[in-house]
Every structure is written in structure tokens, then in C-alpha cells.
Amino acid sequence: MKETILKLLFRHAGSYLSGQEISDELGVSRTAVWKHIKALQAAGYQIETGHRKGYRLLPQEESLLPGEIKSVLKTRWLAHQLVHLESVDSTNIWAKKHHHELQHGALVLAEEQTGGRGRLGRSWESSKGEGIWMTLVLEPGLPMHDAGKMTQLAAAAMHQAIVGVTGLPVKIKWPNDLLVGDHKICGILTEASGELTRIERLLVGIGVNVNQQAFSGEIAAVATSLRIMMEQPVSRVALLMLFLEIFEKCYDDYVLHQSYGAVLRVVREHSMLLNQPIDVIRGDQRVAARAVSIHEDGRLEVVYEDGQSELLAGGEVSV
Ligand code: BT5
């Protein structure tokens, strides 16, 4: 119960929740709520009690240490194996190198990446303690052409988690970006190994800009963070917990129950590209097109100006 209350406060980090709201939500008495809050305060959580306002979790120096995460983790199998690294070149590269130590469902997290990677050899800036830089290790046993569906699944889950924690109007830019306005908040790099008929291992690398206060250099023009958009710090732990719960549910629905509809609904409804004029980028060339649909298999259907249509499995498009 203590952990459930903590999770509720995390989700409303920064704002007050009344004792009544907590007791209604969890079906326990207000006195019980009060006792649990006392216990959380004793455990070091900074919870402010405001007269007639209720309880508010104050932004705190958070770490993503396994102890902290495991105390609030509610997943059935995801992230039960948890690797936390202070500094690493890239969590995806680390997961590849330590292939044999990692099981299905493992989560590799880093406070900082010194060689974070984007797609096509691009780099991903991953400053210390300010973001969620992570790799999920999965063995879905799907054919290789379904790897793209997993990127969509991760994008949909992260979309819902960010909206759940911040309420920001997040858009999904197929195939692997989440944006607020026209600034990127999250990128996904999915790497698969195995054979055409069967993925042996899928590494879903996700980077979320959470608490950066500014960006410098080239990415200043394209990147933003949740903190910049919210004008207050955002809890990495709360966001990560919610993401893991949603991802696990979407993954089980898809891989165990062949149900992918909820993911499609999210990526279609919040798509930044659908029904928009876009450019399909091929090397130095940009070809004008219109994005018309995201198919069941996760591919983007575009129609060019000459009326020809094409299903894109990945690659680069711009609005
Ligand atoms: C991506 O590539 O968006 C995939 C990013 C995946 C990062 C995660 S972090 C954990 C895991 N370990 C890794 O090494 N990688 C994964 P792409 O669509 O190619 O976008 C890359 C482009 O985004 C760069 O060329 C920059 O323009 C921009 N960029 C770089 N760092 C950024 C940041 N922190 N926020 C927003 N944009 C950034």
C-alpha cells in the first residue's frame, strides 16, 4: 500500500493530492493514508503536507538505482533483471556485449551515455542524470519483418506514459520520434538479431529528455525536454514506472494474444504525419508525398504527387 501511495504521488509529482482523493482511489481510510505517508517520510521521501490541501511529493534528487526502482516496480516480468550503469558508451552496445548475461525482459539503464547512438550512425546526446537512457532486451520470437511493430509499440507506450505523467500534447513522428511542438523529446533505436524467420533478440533503445534545462550546439534547434516544457522538474522514476507498466501490457497483448489494435490506435491518433504533406528523404533527395495511413504491420503508406503509393518500412520523412 505504501508503494501504491508513492506511485500515486509520483504521478502527481509537484501538485497536491488530498487525503480523501488518495483514500477514495485506493479504498483505504484517511488515517491509513496518513500512516503510510508518515512511513514514506521516514524513509526519506520529501512529502509536503499542506493544510487542507493534502500531500505533495517534492521534486527530489532521484537516482535510477535498482533499489529505488524495484520498490515501486509493478510489472509482472519486465525489468525484473535491472542493470544500472553510471556511465557507458551506449546502453544498446552494452546490451550487445553482455548478451549472455541478459535475459528476456532485462532493462539496462544508464545515468549518462558517452557515445549514445541514433539511427544510421547518428549520435544521441545523453547528459548525466537528466534523461532516461535505456535498452529493453526482448525475445519475442517474431519474424524479423515484425521488428518495426515493436518500435511502434514502444512509441505508443512512451507516448501514453509521458502524457500520463505530464499531460503534454505529445505527437508521434513515425517511425521512432516523439515530439512536443516541433521539438524532439524522445527517440527510439530498435536493433534486431537473429534470422529472417525468427528474431532471436530485440534491443529496444529509448532515450527521453527529462530534466535538461537547455541544449547546446546543433541539437538546440531540434530538441526539448519535459522540464523545459513543464517549467518544472519531472520525476524520471515516475515516468519510467508508468512506461514499463504500459509497455508490458502492450507487449503481452501483442506477443501473447496477437492483439495490436490499441498500439495502432495510439500511433494513428497521435501521428504527426498522417494526412499531412511530407517529404520522403532518400539520401540527398526529397520527394514530396502525403502520408495516408499507418498499416497493421507498422509500415507508413505514402502517396506521391504522381499518384503512386508506397509502403515505407523505415527511413526518414519530414514534415
Ligand atoms: C533516434 O535516432 O532518435 C534514436 C535515439 C535512441 C537513443 C537511445 S538512448 C538509449 C539507447 N542507447 C543508444 O545508444 N541509443 C538508444 P535518429 O532518429 O537517428 O535521431 C538522431 C538525431 O536526433 C540526431 O542526429 C540529432 O539531430 C537528434 N538528437 C540527438 N540527441 C538528441 C536528444 N537528446 N534529444 C533530441 N534530439 C537529439
pLDDT per position as a tens digit, 88-146: 999 999 999 999 999 999 999 999 999 999 998 999 999 999 999 999 999 999 999 89
Given this model, what pLDDT does residue 59 score? 65
User: 175 CB less than 6 Å from ligand 1?
Assistant: no
Q: Whose CA is nearest to atom 29 of ligand 1?
A: 124
Instruction: Kindly give the residue spans of alpha helices, DSSP state H, lying in 119-192.
Output: 147-166
Distance, in Å, from the CA atom of 286 to the CA atom of 4, rounded to the nearest integer, reads 50
Index of the ligand 1 atom closest to the CA of residue 120: 19
Domains and their CATH numbers in the chain: 2-57 (1.10.10.10), 66-269 (3.30.930.10), 277-318 (2.30.30)
Given this model, what pLDDT does residue 61 score? 65
Distance, in Å, from the CA atom of 177 to the CA atom of 318, rounded to the nearest integer, reads 11
Averaged pLDDT, 282-306: 93
User: 91 CB less than 6 Å from ligand 1?
Assistant: yes
Q: Whose CA is nearest to atom 30 of ligand 1?
A: 124
- N-terminal to C-terminal alpha carbon distance within the chain: 46
Q: Convert the pLDDT of each residue in 65-78 to its tens digit.
A: 887 788 889 999 99
Listing DSSP states for 87-99 in one string gives EES-HHHHHHHTG
Given this model, what pLDDT does residue 8 score? 85
Top mutation candidate among 124, 212, 229 for ligand 1, by most atoms within 8 Å of CB: 124
The Å distance, Cα 49 to ligand 1 centre, comes to: 40
User: 205 CB less than 6 Å from ligand 1?
Assistant: yes
pLDDT at position 13 over 80: no
The Å distance, Cα 282 to ligand 1 centre, comes to: 19
- Select the more confidently predicted residue: 51 or 219: 219
Averaged pLDDT, 296-319: 92
pLDDT at position 63 over 90: no
Q: Convert the pLDDT of each residue in 144-164 to its tens digit.
A: 989 999 999 999 999 999 999
Q: What is the mean pLDDT of the chain?
A: 93
- The size of the chain, in residues, is 319
The Å distance, Cα 118 to ligand 1 centre, comes to: 4
Instruction: Say if the ipTM goes beyond 0.90.
Output: yes
Given this model, what pLDDT does residue 105 score? 98
Averaged pLDDT, 190-219: 95
Given this model, what pLDDT does residue 52 score? 84
Give the three cell numbers for residue 196. Answer: 529472417
Given this model, what pLDDT does residue 67 score? 74
User: 125 CB less than 6 Å from ligand 1?
Assistant: yes
pLDDT at position 232 over 90: no
Give the three cell numbers for residue 239. Answer: 515516468
The Å distance, Cα 270 to ligand 1 centre, comes to: 20
Given this model, what pLDDT does residue 267 score? 97
Instruction: Look at strands 82-88 and 107-113 and give their pairing.
Output: parallel
